[in-house]
Each structure stands twice: as C-alpha cells, then as structure tokens.
Chain A
Amino acid sequence: MKKLLSGNESIARGAWESGVKVATGYPGTPSTEILENISRFYKDDIYCEWAPNEKVAFEVAAGAQTTGIRSITTMKHVGLNVAADPLMTLAYIGTVGGFVAIVADDPGMNSSQNEQDTRIFAHFAKVPVIEPSDSNEARIYIREALEISEKFQTPVILRSTTTLSHSRGVVEPEEPRPLNRKASFQKNPQRFIPIPAWARGMRVRLEERLNALSEAASESSLNRIEWGDRQLGIVTSGITYQYVREVFPEASILKLGWSYPFPDRLIREFADGVEQILVIEELNDFLEEHLRTMGIDCFGKKKNNELLVPNIGELNVDVVKSVREKIYPSSTEKQEVQRPTLPVVSARPPVLCPGCPHRGLFYALNKFDVVVTGDIGCYTLGVAPPLNCMDTVICMGGGITMAHGIDKAGNDRKVVGIVGDSTFFHSGITGLMDIVYNKGKAITVVLDNRITAMTGHQDNPGTGKTIIGEPTHALSIAGIGNALGIKNVVEINPGDQKQTSETLKNAIESDEPWLIISKSPCILADRSVIKPTLHVAPNTCKKCGLCIKLGCPAIEKTEDGKAKINPFLCVGCKLCKQVCPFHAFKEMGEEGYNVPTEGGNC
C-alpha cells in the first residue's frame, strides 16, 4: 500500500525492511526523525539508542557490525565532525555486516551554524556516498547502501539534505526481509587492529577497494543516464535531480545516486554522448572538479568566469530556472508581472517560547557585566533582543571551553559559559574537567530543561528514560560536577529570580569555578508546569518597560504603550510578575485579575 513518508521516515522504513539490527544516533536537525521513527515503529526488530554524542553513536554501530549484523548510525553534518575520528579509521579496517552512516546536510543553514558538503567528507575518508533524490529512493537506497557495504566491506555514507529529509512523497513500502543472522564476533586481530604494521596493508587495500567501487558505481542502478536532447547534458546528484528534471525536461541527464567513488566509466560515456556538459549540484563543486580532473570540458559553478550555479545555500526550481535563463537568454521571455508594493511585515524570527525556563536565567544574568559564551540549543536564541545575552557560539560543548579560554587569556571581565543538559553530556564534561584540572575560574551554567529540546524533545542520559521510553538511571549533573572536584555545585530554579540572581552574584564574585544547574523543565515537553494565564490589572502599568525586556511573546503592548498579556500564549510562568515593580501582573484569584474573555492555554 502506498504511503506518504518523509525522507527520514522512509530511511527508517528502508533500514527495517533491510534487516538492520542496531541503530544509533545523536539528535540533529534535519536527521533526528530517522531514529525517532525506528524507535516508534520498529523497536521490536531493531535495537536503537540515543548516544551521548555522534562519536559514541558511530562507534557503537561500528562495534555492532563486527558481529556480522547490519547497523546504521544517524547524525547531522556537524555531527560527522565529532564522529570523524572513528570514520577515518573504520574506512581502513572495513566492515563485516553492513554499516551505513546516515548524514544529513543542511544547505541554507535552516537549523545549523554552518554549511558542509558531506560528499567531501566521503572523499576524504575514501568511503562511498549514496544520495537519494526523493522519499521512495531513500527507502531503496538505504538497502543498496547496506549491500554495497557488505559486498565491499566498507562503511558507506548515505547523505541526505534538509529538503530530502523533511519532504514527504509517495512511497511503496515492501515487506521486511529478515536476515536471521546470529551475532558472532570472530577473533581476527589482523583484520580489526590497525597497528602500523597491519594498517599499511589496509591502506593499500583501501585504494584497491576504491577502484573496484568506482567500477561498480558505473554499473549500479543508482547511477543512470536519461538520454534526451544531446545538445546539453546535465550532471547532477541527490535532490537537485528533481529541480533539474523539472526545469530542463528536454535535456540529457546523468543522475548520480552513488556519486563517490566517481563512476568514471559512466561519466565518460555521458560526456561522449552530449555536446556540452553542465554540472548542477548543491554546495561544493564536487562533481564538477572531478569532471575537469578527467579532462572533460564542463561548466557549473561558473560560466565564462561569471557565477552560474550558486555554491552557497540551497538550490530549488527558481534557482535552477535562473541558471537556465543565463544559458538561454534569448529563448526565455521575460514575463513582467505587476507586483504591488507590499506593506513591510514584521520580522518573525524563532524565539524562546512563553514560559521557557531559559528566559529567567538570561534575565538575571543580564544584571551582571560578564562575557557569556554560549552553545548549540534552544538557548542560543538568548542572543536575540531584548535579552542579547550571548557573546560567542562555536559548537557543542564550546560554551564551557571557550569560557575557560577567555578566562585564561586574562580577560578583564568574568566569564560565564552556558550549555544545555544534552550538550553537557555530549561534550561539556571534558571542558569542565579542563577548568578544574587547570585551575580555571570560569562559571559554568547548565540550562537543564530535562530534555533535548531544540531537535524536538529527545531523551538523553539525564532524563531517566531510553529512546523507547524505558526507565533507566538518570545521570546527575550535580553528581558529575562533584566527581570532577568542583566545590561550588548549585542547583537553582530559574523561575525564582531572587534565588537565581543571588547565586549568580555569589559565583561571579568568587575566585573559584562554579557549576550552576539551572533546572526547570521545557514548557513544551512537560505541560504539567503550565498554569493559568496572568493578567494586567487595570491602571497599574506605568509603561516602565521592564517586562518587555523579558522578550516574552505573551507580553504585548496596548495602543497606548501599556503591557498586556496575550491569553493564547501565556502559560503562567510568573516571571513578569517578579520583574514588575508596580505589581501590575495578577494571577487568577488575585485582586485585579480579569477573567480573560478569550483563549487561555488552549
């Protein structure tokens, strides 16, 4: 039966159909839903886990396949940076069961701090990269990737991109094909241990394998030529194929679903069959550069030294249309559509939710003249006005280590490093270890909202639940701080402004490292913390603007500039009540509270 599945749902389905037994990962947009779907629908057949970080996830899946079963690991592009160490050497060692690392790139940086083209990583690690172009291919290509992995004893990367992962399409699922393999590790040190003497042999075999893979890629059904008009041949891969097919219905296309090792023989056949070659690919000039290396005259990122296909951001039909217009300037009639002058619409960036516990910590922290080093998570949104409470962000775990670096540089102001709970487990602990070991005095604040929030509420080692909801030991962040030897470990409730400000003051005035755990659940993950909406009592607001500085979406202004609460959005966190010097904000039951005539937590 046909189903509408996203690329991520389809990858999960395909992994199950292909008899995968172990699936690991660390949440990261746009890859997260792959493992979420496995944990929801296929947990009876596939062992799955959220690992504390991508390196751990990669190694767990790499270990699993040594027993002869099939395993996968999932992560976003920056996650592969964390997992690069095992990837580079697993390529040497090779695999026993099928092993696929599913890596989702984010061209356009919809939810990421940079753009990376994972095809380059595959080239660097000398492993195959598979690029589906829609949901149904995603399901089929994961099986193909596993089979390539087993046949050539190599790890394989399946590369997705945001639009592939998050677009739904019609999929025709198949029944799973169980493999009935018994997990059994066979001792073979020369096979599994890359000590230099043995690794040198592996290095040679790696090159031989690449040649064999290139030959297989030319034969594979994942790569195909669609012959059309021979005047123009377009080389493309991944989802970009869909845009190219739509905009160039007449052209000959070389569609690459297995782009590395490059299918040289097929590329040559295509090049010989068309008059000129255009390469249209998202992000880097990965294929184009190789075609030039092969001595094939082509154009892509530039034509006659003018920019053609952008190497920044995401491609789409409109971008590919503009490429076509540049190539055939005379054939395209410019349609002058009268566009009215539109009113300016307010910017609507993502914001910390009403009732978000991070807001209370940031508001209190803003009272101090400190440098704040941030990290990757919802709390990165604390950089936005009016909180403006973040000075640096680099990567997961960097909130702590950057703080230590600024401190050790002898900075004239105290430094506070911010991380989330999941981020702390991911790669924050080693940074904190460094602060203690090297006698630093940076302050660490863990914004512990009891969940991995930004990626859509995944459990982590601190939540007390596994990916499938089984109860497990909940790691104590305070306990870890104590074990690391930090004397000042304090848990605070960021909803209590007095306690939060006092704790921060004590820490900032001290000459020792502190670990402050700002503990309060994510409002979206734990709805039990939602209370009745507050209200502004008539004639009490003096327009001082202090509550506006909270940056709470539920606090709006009336036409005459007074604060008012949007009852649709307010979740009753009472932060506004704590910061208002005129006691304007009233809770239900208090004098001056007006029962809202509309909405209210619905």
Chain B
Amino acid sequence: MTSLENKNSTVSVVLVGVGGQGILLASTVLAEAAMESGYDVKTNEIHGMAQRGGSVISQIRYGQKVYSPLVPKGTATVLMSLERTEGIRYYDYLAPDGLAVISDQKIVPITATLGQTPYPDIDKTELQKYFPRLVYLSAVEKAAELGNPKAANIILLGALSTRLDIKQNTWESAIKKCVKPAFVDLNLKAFELGCQSGN
C-alpha cells in the first residue's frame, strides 16, 4: 500500500468510462471519504453534451491544500476505467508508478460499428504492457453475482482504495452517505469484494 508519504503533496485520482456507467457516484464516494479523512478536496466532473454516451472523465485531488481541481498529466496515483479500452485514452494522466484499475467490460462505440475507427482487441496481457501495475477485473460479472451489475463502479473503487491512505471505516461511512439506503448493503459488499481483488 502506497500512502500519502508527504503531507504537502496532493494525491490525484482519475476515473474514466462511458457516460451512464456510474463514474459520478464513484467520484462522490471517494471525495467524501477524503474529506472525512480531514483533507482538502477538489473534484471535477463532466456535464452536458459529453454525457450522452461519450467518453467521460472524473478527477479527484486531495491533500493538505489543493489548488487546481484538474489533474496534471503524469501525476495520477490511480487511473480507474469502467470500460476495457477507455483507460488507454487517458493513459497520460497516470504517474509512472501509478496503478491502473480496469474493468473488462466492453462498450463498442458506434464509430467502431460503422468501421470509422477500430475498437482495439485488447486483453489483460495486452493491458499489462502499458500498465505494469494493473488490477483487471470482471467487475460487471462480479456485481451481477452480488445482485446488480450496476455496482461494478463500487467494486473498482474498492480495488483502487487499497492504494490510498483512507481508512476502511471512512470508506464505509462515505458509501452510506452517498448511496440510496436500499443500495447500501449491496455497495458495501461490492466495495469489500473490490478491496480483496485490489490486494
């Protein structure tokens, strides 16, 4: 586990995926957990036109004092992608020793169906070439086993949490705060499952 060694530095996390996959919830839980841990926090999310099935990015930064809400390139401690290929699009954000947490879910964009741009055929072995530190998960499958494939976002969040120095009970309290009561148990289980995969 890499923690915030220098209290003066800022930890940056980048979450990516496709509009509608639940990036915003994962980002909110992370930001709440960081704030509860006593850090200054800033986040940035995409709204409006880009949400309509487009590629989306959410950025979270925390530390003693955070200035820019936008993550500088090459500095993210973790890059999490809810879609198999989207992590590659945002590769430049990840720090050289950063961790990539990637779901194996494929969402083929219409541009690929039309043959305008190829949808890259990549698997875990291929992704490891670009992301030496990789957690690769069948998050949707695992979430479906828990009862709802939509909880894939929180499974991945659990996996990335192993790289951040935020306490387990803080994560749990943030989940309880951000998720509708009916889905708390599901999401706590999803988070726990993710933690195990991350370790």
Interface of A with B (CB < 8 Å)?
Answer: 2, 4, 29-30, 32-33, 110-111, 134, 163, 166-170, 242-243, 245-246, 316-318, 321, 337, 339-340, 342-353, 378, 381, 385-386, 454-456, 548, 551-553, 555-557, 566, 598-599, 602
- Given A169-B69, A243-B68, A350-B19, A553–B53 Cβ distance below 8 Å? yes
B90 to chain A minimum Cβ distance, whole angstroms, is: 9
- Given A351-B53, A353-B53, A602–B69 Cβ distance below 8 Å? no
**Which among B32, B47, B110, B149 is the interface contact of A351 at CB below 8 angstroms?**
B110
A81 to B185, CA, bound (A): 49
- Mostly helix, strand, loop or mixed at chain A's interface? loop
> Hey, which chain A residues are within 8 Å of B130, CB to CB?
340, 342
B65 to chain A minimum Cβ distance, whole angstroms, is: 9
Q: Is the CB of B68 within 8 A of A385?
A: no
A353 to B49, CA, bound (A): 12
A559 to chain B minimum Cβ distance, whole angstroms, is: 10
Q: Is the CB of A346 within 8 A of B54?
A: no
A547 to B199, CA, bound (A): 45
Q: Is the CB of B114 within 8 A of A316?
A: no
Interface membership of B45, Cβ < 8 A = yes
A166 to B70, CA, bound (A): 11
Interface membership of B164, Cβ < 8 A = no
> What number of residue pairs across chains A and B have CB atoms under 8 A from each other?
165
> Hey, which chain B residues are within 8 Å of A344, CB to CB?
117-118, 120
B42 to chain A minimum Cβ distance, whole angstroms, is: 5
Q: Is the CB of A318 within 8 A of B52?
A: no
Q: Is the CB of A347 within 8 A of B116?
A: yes
Q: Can you name 7 A-B pairs with beta carbons within 8 Å?
A: A4-B35, A245-B67, A337-B74, A347-B117, A349-B109, A351-B110, A378-B52
Q: Is the CB of A166 within 8 A of B44?
A: yes
Q: Is the CB of B41 within 8 A of A110?
A: no
Q: Is the CB of A343 within 8 A of B88?
A: yes
A1 to chain B minimum Cβ distance, whole angstroms, is: 11
> Hey, which chain A residues are within 8 Å of B45, CB to CB?
166-168
Residue in B closest to A8 when the chains form the complex, CB atoms: B47
A350 to B129, CA, bound (A): 29
What 7 pairs across the A-B complex have the smallest Cβ distances?
A: A29-B48, A111-B48, A167-B69, A350-B54, A350-B52, A246-B67, A348-B55
A242 to B65, CA, bound (A): 11
Residue in B closest to A314 when the chains form the complex, CB atoms: B70
Interface membership of B73, Cβ < 8 A = yes
Task: Indicate with 1 or 0, residue by residue over B12-56, a CB within 8 angstroms of chain A CB atoms.
Answer: 000000110000000010011001000011111111111111110
- Given A166-B44, A342-B91, A347–B111 Cβ distance below 8 Å? yes
Most buried by A among B41, B48, B67: B48
A306 to B44, CA, bound (A): 32
Residue in A closest to B18 when the chains form the complex, CB atoms: A348
A113 to chain B minimum Cβ distance, whole angstroms, is: 10
Interface membership of B89, Cβ < 8 A = yes
Q: Is the CB of B69 within 8 A of A349?
A: no
A337 to B52, CA, bound (A): 34
- Given A170-B35, A337-B96, A30–B111 Cβ distance below 8 Å? no
